[in-house]
Amino acid sequence: MSRSPPRRRERGFTLVEVLAAFVILSLTLASAYAALTGGLRWERRAGETVSSVLLARSYLAEAGVARPLAESVTEATLDDGRTVRVTMREVEPVPLETRPRLLAWEVTVEVVQPGGGALSLTELKLAPP
């Protein structure tokens, strides 16, 4: 009759070991969740930045057409909490022999997002004096 050899050194986990394993598992999971939520937050920030670029381009298109070129700083807060600041500045006259004479304007559109982060686009516009 075969008899299983006596198994030595085989015993279950102790409660403390199981607890330690659970703690390590929870820490790992917690860091994984933190990474996930961080990634999602950055994704949202990226979307907001893209949207702000599109918005800034629209403001640049208006400058010199629907908003006259003049030394000015105008600031507006939109419904979604973004702040748009349009700065128009005449560039030092360049001795260009153009006829008619043209002035160069530097138009800067700055968009500040409520969740933090800002970006600015600058364009040069030429216009008769």
Partner 1 sequence: MRVREPRPPTPRTGERGMTLAELLVALTLLGMLSVMMMGGLRFGARAWERTEESSGHMNAVVRTHAFLRARLSETTRPDAVTGEADRLTFSALWLTALGAANLYEFELFHRDGEALVLAWRPMPDEDAAPEELSGERTLLEGVTGLEIAYFGQPPGYPAADWLDRWEPDWPAPLLVRIEAELAHPRRDWPTLTVGLPG
100 lies in the binding site for partner 1 (CB under 8 A): no
Candidate segments 6-14, 69-77, 91-99, 101-109, binder of partner 1 by CB under 8 A: 6-14
SS3 95: coil
For partner 1, the closer CB: 53 or 93: 53
Judged by CB under 8 A, the residue of 20, 24, 27, 50 near partner 1 is: 50
CB 120 within 8 A of CB 108: yes
Element holding 61 (H helix, E strand): helix 15-62
Q: Tell me the closest approach of the beta carbon of residue 19 to partner 1, in angstroms.
A: 7
CB 110 within 8 A of CB 75: no
Q: Tell me the closest approach of the beta carbon of residue 57 to partner 1, in angstroms.
A: 8
Residue 35: name the closest of 23, 46, 43 by CA. Answer: 43
> Position 35: which residue type?
A
76 lies in the binding site for partner 1 (CB under 8 A): no
CB 89 within 8 A of CB 95: no
62 lies in the binding site for partner 1 (CB under 8 A): yes
For partner 1, the closer CB: 36 or 93: 36
